[in-house]
Structure 1
Amino acid sequence: MDRRTFLRTAVVGTGTSVAFGFTLWPEAMGYPARTGPSPYGALQSADVNGIMLPQGFTSRVVARSSQTVPGTNHVWHSAPDGGACFANGTGWVYVSNAELSSGAGGVGALRFDSNGNVIGAYTTLSGTTRNCAGGETPWNTWLSCEETDRGYVFETDPFGVKPAVRRDAMGRFKHEAAAADPDRKVIYLTEDESNGGFYRFVPTTWGDLSAGRLQVLKEVNGVLSWANVPDPDGGPTRTRSQVSGMKVFNGGEGCYYRNGTCFFTTKGDNRVWAYNAVTNTIAIAYDDNLTSNPPLTGVDNITGAAVGDLYVAEDGGNMEICVITPDDVVAPFARVTGQSSSELCGVAFNPAGNRLYFSSQRGTSGTSSGGITYEVTGPFRTSL
């Protein structure tokens, strides 16, 4: 049996061959996702912003790096990366990391009213390094992760009221993304190393990230388990080298949790993984080697819609955001043209699920100061 045939049926790391759908939705075909028609139809010609979208969808620019956000006195940060939305009264806030080196990173925020108008912009974290991705918590904070050797996680207030706090207990490594699992009361964490781990942080008290245990996923004889990382500080021995039998992942990127499953991406092998926390098993939800004419390459940030669709942004590829449906079909949802020296990131839905935000990190100029943050509106599906 060749690799492609085996991986189409195998649940990796369980010692058994089982096919299952990537959500709890019925009638799922089973992993991995394969190339197919988009539920939104074909991409149309590029709009005025150079974005190809399905019929009925429109885009607009909400902020540009190095420029003042219209209607505010705030200059939008360079190199926008991971992001998320938070409800704020009748409106919402979109937060965005700044992936800048040498202490120039941080987090910026856009405040929207109920009609989607930008009514404020501000900084919630500054003085940090290479804030790449992160994740939201159930108690409405944003975890901003430093993608640097022995980087930190910072817990920030999207609403700009409380000061950011460095969460040392969550470990020091090349952090990428985070996803909260309120069912098991843990935070999953990815590591952007070619021999990186997949971690979870178990807070002593749920809702308080000041203390707890950092654990890493290990695999011995096909059986998965979680092991405590002896020294979360990662010095002198890096966290990924402290636990024998740690399951290795090639370049951890985006991370998203729903319905008992944590989905995360690895750029080194262009995969989307699905860790089933209920059964403690892991599967390949997408692999560009396991489908014909793969639309999704350069996997990066990931988010999901309430209906069950996953949206994965590309760092490279065709500069697309691709959708993976609950029946395991992968197809392009959006394509940004004329920006081949950039990457897409920060995909996030507003609380109502009818507006999608994302950034092109280096925009048309190909430089960090040329980043562009967009909003897409249209008939996002609410049922299958």
Structure 2
Amino acid sequence: MNRRTLLRATVVGGGTAAFAGGLWQQAFAAPAQPGAGPYGPLGAPDANGLQLPAGFTSRVVARSLRRVAGTRYSWHPAPDGGACFPDGAGWIYVSNSEVPIVGGASAVRFDATGKITSAYRILGNTMVNCAGGATPWGTWLSCEEYDLGLVYETDPYGARSAQRRPAMGRFTHEAAACDPVRKVVYLTEDESDGCFYRFRPNTWGDLSAGVLEVMVGSGPGAVEWRRVPSPEVWLTPTRDQVSGALRFQGGEGCYYAEGVCYFTTKGDNRVWAYDAEQGMLSLAYDDDLVPAGAAPLTGVDNVTGAASGDLYVAEDGGNMEINLITPDGTVAPFSRLNGHDESEITGPAFSPDGTRLYFSSQRGASGFVAGTDGVTYEVTGPFRR
């Protein structure tokens, strides 16, 4: 029995609990399957090479090593994880830079009409800042992706200096998502045998001290959490310090909504759903559980969500798409970027009003590994809200 057949027998046959939480308005027992998306088919490529459904348009916001339009600030190379923050009647888009030595993160400020008013650095001189996550108190957690990587808490508005948060562990950090109900921060780890963590700060809103825990269990189903003994200074990596820690094949994006934390693993093209209230882990999507050769979503990476309950999952490779997973369990392409075959889609994030989606092509059309050809886009249209 091959992996596809075994997984289908286990998951569809009842080995996985149905999903809960407000994001999945209709619980279902099986992972998402291909189908028609809510916006219809993709159109022909536009002037920016993007294929979008009818009614949606795109513009280029920034290009790596070039000045952001209307500013004197040069956009960083290799744009990666990102998030949006309200700014009066306007908003700010924050983006990491996944390069060594200088790393860090930058921000672009927009007014109420969407006009760019400024761009600036909010973090520098860090290592391969990959993804991260926004906090409920308006900061951006920028995560370093290497063995001794740290989480940096940054100010999207550029008024305060970034702060190291070593209590959140030293490991190959990828993404973060805050759960304000349980007052924890979930963390993914980009290792082939990585783990899924949560950080419990001593005081919610202050990430300077707390307890790092790792998910323990045997796979989809009931899971629990155990304390990592030495998260900051270690001879044994954090993922190997707790017996029974669940292993995941390359943790990537992480997104929380209404009691459920969704995270992706690139090694097996899966989107996971952790029901925090029930303590249950399920599969929201697995490319081995769709008809052979018909998987619309491969190379799963960054993930975000809309108020409608739709998940938006970006591809690292694949055919450079962002795919939707709808609350009724349908997965379908929302956008496709042409001519960037050696790149990856990164940093999807919605403006606060849900009308604009931001994301980047990390290495652009050239595919140059240093990311000096990166491009950051904005898509505007009738998003479901």
TM over 0.5: yes
Matches within 5 A, 1:115-126: 115-126=113-124
* Structure 1 CA distance for aligned equivalents of residues 46 and 17 of structure 2: 43
Q: Which amino acid aligns with 2:107?
A: A
Report if the CA contact (8 A) 1:347-1:357 is conserved: yes
Q: Name the counterpart of 2:40.
A: 41
CA gap of 1:27–1:237, structure 2 versus 1, over 3 A, is: closer
Give distance in 1, aligned partners of 2:18 and 2:13: 5
* 1:174 equivalenced with 2:165 (yes/no): no
Closer, same or farther: CA 220–36 of 1 in aligned 2, 3 Å: closer
Q: CA deviation at 1:161?
A: 0.3
Q: Which amino acid counterpart does residue 374 of structure 1 have in structure 2?
A: Y
RMSD over aligned CA atoms reads 1.4
* Aligned residue pair count: 376
In 2, the alpha carbon distance for the partners of 1:326 and 1:148 equals: 34
Structure 1 pair 167–42 and aligned structure 2 pair: CA distance change class (3 A) = same
Select which of 118, 136, 139 maps to 1:138. 136
Q: 1:345 to 1:191 in 2, by over 3 A?
A: same
Give 1:107 deviation, angstroms. Answer: 0.3
Distance 1:219 1:27, change over 3 A: closer
2:9 to 5, 9, 12: 5
**Partner in structure 2 of residue 274 of structure 1:** 273
Task: Tell me how far apart the structure 2 counterparts of residues 109 and 64 of structure 1 sit (CA, whole Å).
Answer: 13
Equivalent AA in structure 1 for residue 63 of structure 2: R
Q: Please state how far the C-alpha of 1:224 moved relative to its aligned partner.
A: 1.6
- Judged with a 3 Å threshold, the aligned counterparts in structure 2 of structure 1 residues 314 and 84 are, in CA distance, closer, same or farther, namely same
Find the aligned partners of 1:325 and 1:45 in 2 and give their Cα distance.
Answer: 23
Say yes or no: does 1:374 pair with 2:372.
no
Structure 2 match to 1:246: 245
Q: Partner of 2:99: helix, strand, or coil?
A: coil
Q: State, as a whole percentage, how many aligned pairs show the same letter.
A: 60
Answer yes or no: is 1:359 the counterpart of 2:360.
yes
Q: 1:223 offset after TM fit, Å?
A: 4.4
For 1:345 and 1:211, locate their aligned partners in 2 and report how far apart those are by CA, in whole Å: 30
In the alignment, does 2:230 pair up with 1:231?
yes
- Deviation string 1:108-143 (CA, Å, 9 cap, x unpaired) is 000000000110000000000000000000000000
Q: Aligned with 1:7: secondary structure?
A: helix
Question: What is the SS of the residue equivalent to 2:9?
Answer: helix
Deviations 1:4-29 (A, max 9, x none): 13222445xxxxx5333674544344
Q: For the residues of structure 2 that align with 1:150 and 1:24, how far apart are their CA atoms? A: 34
Structure-1 separation of matches of 2:381 and 2:168 = 38
2:89 equivalent to 1:55: no
Quote the residue 1:260 is aligned against.
259
Would you say the 8 A contact 2:296–2:331 is kept in 1? yes
Q: Deviations for 1:295-321, whole angstroms, at most 9, x for unmatched residues? A: 000000000000100000000101000
What residue number does 1:201 align with? Answer: 199
Residue 98 of structure 2: aligned partner: 99
Structure 2 residue runs of 5 or longer lacking an equivalent are none
Distance 1:27 1:236, change over 3 A: closer
How has the CA–CA distance of structure 1 residues 141 and 380 changed in structure 2, closer, same or farther, with 3 Å as cutoff?
A: same
Aligned residue number for residue 14 of structure 1? none
Instruction: Letter of the 1:237 partner, please give it.
Output: T
- Which letter does structure 2 place at the counterpart of 1:346? G
Aligned counterparts of 1:239 and 1:206: Cα–Cα separation in 2: 23
Q: Measure the CA separation in 2 of the matches of 1:270 and 1:58.
A: 29
**Residue equivalent to 2:351:** 350
- 2:374 and 2:25 map into 1 onto residues whose CA distance is 40
1:155 is aligned with what amino acid?
E
